[in-house]
Every structure is written in C-alpha cells, then in structure tokens.
Structure 1
Amino acid sequence: MTTTTTTDIKLRQHRVQTSLGEIAVAEVPGDGPVLVMLHGGGPGASGISNYHQNLPALARRFRILLPDQPGFGDSYRPTDTDLDDRSITQITVDALFQALDQLGVGEFHLLGNSLGGAAAIAMAQTQRERITGLVLMAPGGGWLPFGPTPTEGQKEMFKYFNGSGPSEKKMAAFIRTMVFDHKQFGEDVVRARYEASLDESHIAFYHLYNAAFAKRGGMDPLWKDLDKITAPTLLLWGRDDRTITLEGAQILLKQIRNVQLHVFGRCGHWVQLERQAEFERLVADFLEELA
C-alpha cells in the first residue's frame, strides 16, 4: 500500500490480488460509511481520473473506495479468452467483490456511471444484502434506448482507438459528445485525458473489449432483472446525454422498487463534472438519509 495526494486529498493506493488478476483501489480514509465509486468506460478512464474533483466534498462524509475496473487504470487486463467466456460486466462484478472482500468491506454504498453503472446494477442484483444505497448515473445495461444505436457518444468511444489511433483531436471530439458545453473543458483537460489513454496495454484491451462488445450485441441485458434491486436507488441523468439517453430511463423507474430520479438540464453524460456541486450535494444527502 502506498499513499499519494490529489486535490489536497491523501489517497491510499491498494493493490488487491484476486483470482482473476490484480485490482487497483484508491482509498480516501474516513469515519463515515463506505462509498464505492465506479468509473465509466471511456478511453483513459479510471477511478481517480473520473472522480478526483468530487473527493474533497464527499470525503467529509464517507470512506471512499475508487477501484480501477478490469482493463482500466492500474488494474489487470482481461484477455480475449476472458472476454469470450464472460462479459466485461460479469468479469468486473466478480473481481470487485473479491477485492472488497480482501479489503474487509461488508456493507457499502455504491455509485456507478455508464460502464461502471452497469457493474453497479449487476452488483446490486447479485449480492443485494451488501448494497445499502445505490446511485446510478446514466448506467449501461439497465437502459433501453428509444433511438438508434450505437448512440453518438458510443460511436465516438468505439472509434477513438481505431483508424489512425488516439490523438488529441479525437479526444476533443469524444469529450464534446460527453458533455453539454465542451467550452467548460479546455486544452489541459483534453491533453490529460489523451495522455491517460496512451497505455499500450489499455489500447490492446480496448480493441478486445470493443470486439467482444460487438459480438455480444452490446451490454448485458441487465434491465430484465431490475426488480431484483432492493437498495434505495437514486438515478442521476443529464437531459442532453448523447451516450446513454434519458428516454431509456423509463424502465429503471418502472422496475426498481425504491427509486427516484434527478434530471440535470443543459447537462450531458458527465454529471459529476458538469454539475459538480449539485452532484455532490445530491449524492451525500441521499446516502446520509439512509443511515
């Protein structure tokens, strides 16, 4: 275990060995309930990169765990055989529960965005008694699109590593589809996310991941078992999300027993960035009321 500092927050870095491979977990120590935060699946994504700006506010109320999901950040890379045998969501759920067991975590709050939202849904369906509160931000797998697929954002994500490969121009185009107003995010954000996407093992994984995604016809159909979720659930969605569109949220509202929805106008797929203060307040207030 090592310690690093980001945004004036000290992080403990865990390397947790599971039967699948090593999972990297950043921890913000605290006396409050455990909050596990799962990142999305875009190029260069990781637990810290997706949520570092939210840590100062949330760390005052929670002990935060930020896992890098298999294939991302500093965690192990699933092989093509792994992805043939099981979906990325099934792999992730298995690895994350093992990692949390190794860290001695029993019950916990769970938050997930996009690809991480799919993992969060599956975790809440699988070991229901451990999830005390669930926050889903435009989650994959539990959503049924009304329009054509892949969506605009999904197309940008899939082609980022294809053709001539990664570039700052392609990263800027990707970010434009993720947010409502890309002018909030300057060249420094584009460059940082681009540089984070250049790890050769991550690029190789992403090609396998995209191929497996196409072979399976998309995400696991987690929407079929949404009624298995028993945790109180908060849905957060940008009205202008062009990746996981708001219209598809209706089935989540219909099938999850204890659920509420907050929609952010003039907001895209990255709620935690575009509406940072509101996101932090809503998440903290919702989860604290469950205590």
Structure 2
Amino acid sequence: MSYQLREEDGYRYIDEGQGEVLILLHGLMGALSNWEPVVDRFSNNYRVIIPMLPLYDMPLLTTGVKTLSKFLHKFVEHLNISKFTLMGNSLGGHVALIYVLNHPEFVHSLVLTGSSGLYENAMGASFPRRESYDYIKEKVAYTFYDPIMASKELVDDVFATVNDRNRVIRILAMAKSAIRHNMEKDLYKINMPVCLIWGRDDKITPPDVAEEFLKLLPNAELNWVEKCGHAPMMERPEEFNEYLDKFLKKVYPVNA
C-alpha cells in the first residue's frame, strides 16, 4: 500500500485527506490494503482513516468482537473525532455494529459490506488442513466470485497466518466470539442511515444475510454488486465506490 502507516501511542493507522471523517474497518483475514481503492477515490474530499485492528495482540481471554469495539473507541478518543461514517467489511462490520450500539452519538452513518453479525459461512471452526498450501488457496479463492482475485501474495499472507500458532488460536477465538454475539435482537436500535453494499455471489455472508440486515435495520438501503463475492471494495472497486459516493452525497449533502 502506498499510503503512510502512522504509529503513535500503540496505534497503527492510515490517515489521508481532509473533510468529513470516514473510518474503515478490515475483516478477520483482512488488511489495510483491502481499502486502498476507497482511499484513492475519497481522500480528495474526505478524511479517510483505517486503523489496524489488534487481532493478534490481545490476551487470549479477552480476544473478541467487544474488545475490538472498545479498542476502536479508545482510538477514536485518541484522534478526538466524532460524527464520522463508520464502514466495515466482514468482521469489521460486526465490530462497527457493536460500536454503534455502544456509542451512537459518535457515529453519523454506517456502511456494511459482507458484514458478519447475523451468520456467516467462514473457514469453519478449525483449519483441518492448514499445512496444505493448496487447501488455503482454495479457501481464499472461496472469498471471491473470481478465483483469480486470490493472488499469490494474498494466499501467502493467509497461509503464514494460519500456520502461526499464536495467530490461529486468536482467529478461532475471534470467530467463536462473533458467533456468540449475534446482533439480530439489537439492530432495531440503530436508527442512523445505513448503506449495505453486498456481493450478489457472496458465499461467506450470502445474499439472504444482506436481506435480513435490510429488514432489521430501520433506516437501511441495499445495493447489489453483481458477479462479486465477500469483499466488493476489492473485487469490484469501481461499483463499490459508486454506491458509496451516492450514499455519502446523500448523508453529507454539502459535499454533493
């Protein structure tokens, strides 16, 4: 990624542009670079911030989505920002939902793409063949509509992660935490504008998950990205950005 990674007071993050603030949250196997097309498009008119979530740095007993939400709030207070648009993919969306419920006064609007929080078909409760590079490559390709998106660099990163004992036990703990903290009964409390941008061919959080979010969130809109899997901002960045641009212009009309 070509953007500067800032490091201060234990936080690592990207902070580009000026204007209304967009905070972007990556998923369990994600990275800051997943959001690069969004930074490229929107940092001319918005302040785009991507914190690196401490997925592998928390004590095992506290590893979970609620702890990540608390981390996010400390980060937000550190930067002294509020009334931002919070955006999350996969696990990042789940963290965003918990954060909004706990700190609604800080969030202006919400964007979810391939978000967990209801249910998902992840890699499973274990990695039975994590020593097999081809198996991991197959699992990474499962994330996308077009398997060519599973680049060697991406597969190498996931392969290294799931073969690191410290990391894999935290991944499993985080996945179990996400399953335990189902959001279905709490979504009615989220009254702010919500934009759902979903891959029509998402196999991890399938289309009916998006439909359920639309039904349960009082002020949501749903935008489909055709021929796209679990990470539309990576696989179909232009379409993702178009939907996002329309939503942001609606909720920040002064920027339109």
Common topology (TM > 0.5) = yes
Sort the Cα spacing of 1:177 and 1:221 in 2 relative to 1 into closer, same or farther, 3 A: same
| Count of aligned positions | 252
8 Å Cα contact 1:23-1:95 kept in structure 2 = no
Give 5+ residue unaligned stretches, structure 1.
1-5, 17-21, 146-150
8 Å Cα contact 2:196-2:220 kept in structure 1 = yes
- The match for 1:58 among 37, 42, 47 is 42
Q: 1:97: which partner in 2?
A: 73
Confirm whether residue 281 of structure 1 aligns to residue 242 of structure 2: yes
Distance 2:217 2:242 in 1: 23
- What TM-score results when the alignment is normalised by the length of structure 1? 0.78
Percent of residue pairs bearing the same amino acid type: 22
Sort the Cα spacing of 1:232 and 1:203 in 2 relative to 1 into closer, same or farther, 3 A: farther
8 Å Cα contact 2:225-2:239 kept in structure 1 = no
Q: 2:111: which partner in 1?
A: 135
Confirm whether residue 15 of structure 1 aligns to residue 8 of structure 2: yes
Confirm whether residue 33 of structure 1 aligns to residue 20 of structure 2: yes
Q: 2:99: which partner in 1?
A: 123
Confirm whether residue 190 of structure 1 aligns to residue 152 of structure 2: yes
8 Å Cα contact 1:11-1:26 kept in structure 2 = yes
Q: 1:265: which partner in 2?
A: 226
Give secondary structure in 2 for the equivalent of 1:236: strand
Shift of 1:202: 6.4
Give 5+ residue unaligned stretches, structure 2.
none
Shift of 1:136: 0.4
Sort the Cα spacing of 1:203 and 1:287 in 2 relative to 1 into closer, same or farther, 3 A: farther
Give secondary structure in 1 for the equivalent of 2:192: coil
8 Å Cα contact 1:138-1:246 kept in structure 2 = no
What do you get for the CA RMSD once the two structures are aligned? 2.5
Residue 15 of structure 2 aligns with an amino acid whose one-letter code is E
Sort the Cα spacing of 1:158 and 1:108 in 2 relative to 1 into closer, same or farther, 3 A: farther
- The match for 2:169 among 177, 183, 207 is 207
Give secondary structure in 2 for the equivalent of 1:133: strand
Give secondary structure in 1 for the equivalent of 2:45: coil
Cα deviation, 1:169-227, whole Å, max 9, x if unaligned, reads 344212210111113x36xx22245247636996513313314644x582411121001
